[in-house]
Amino acid sequence: MKPIGHWRHRADKALTRAMNGVLSEYGLTRLDWQVLNVIRDTAPEATDSAVLSALAARADLLTLTASVDAVLTGGWTTRTARTDWPSPTTAAIGRPPSPSASRRSATCA
């Protein structure tokens, strides 16, 4: 009899294959979807380090960084510079602005 961990691992692999198949239509993977969920759950303070630490058990640093880049380049989220943080290279990542929000900010500017 196989240990429960074996079956959990197989179920996780099957779930990943199924989700990757469904999400591929949108140019996403299961890991990309998990990145988006972490961003949603931690917005507006979502940072790269928050996403990476939340998903560290799911993938290595290089793979996670590639997923963050994929959701950014795919337009699923945006990076916003924060001037109140100590490092000028630190940025928040969050939901892309809605078209009405960009019209409001353009009008107010």
pLDDT at residue 102 in the model: 38
pLDDT computed for residue 99 by the predictor: 47
What pLDDT, on a 0 to 100 scale, did the predictor assign at position 42?
87
Domain span at 37 = 4-82+90-95
66-99 residue pLDDT tens: 999 999 999 999 887 654 444 433 445 655 544 4
In a domain? residue 47: yes
- This prediction's pTM: 0.71
Q: Report whether pLDDT(107) > 90.
A: no
3-state DSSP call for residue 86?
Answer: coil
Domain assignment present for residue 101? The answer is no
In a domain, 107, yes or no: no
Range 12-35 average pLDDT: 96
Q: SS3 of 53, please?
A: helix
Q: How many domains does the chain have?
A: 1
Residue 61 lies in a domain: yes
* Model confidence pLDDT, tens digit, residues 44-58: 778 888 899 999 999
Tokens 């337009």 identify what position?
75
Q: What is the CATH number of the domain that holds 46?
A: 1.10.10.10
**In sequence order, which residues have a C-beta less than 8 Å from that of residue 26 and are 6 or more positions away?**
none
100 part of a folded domain: no
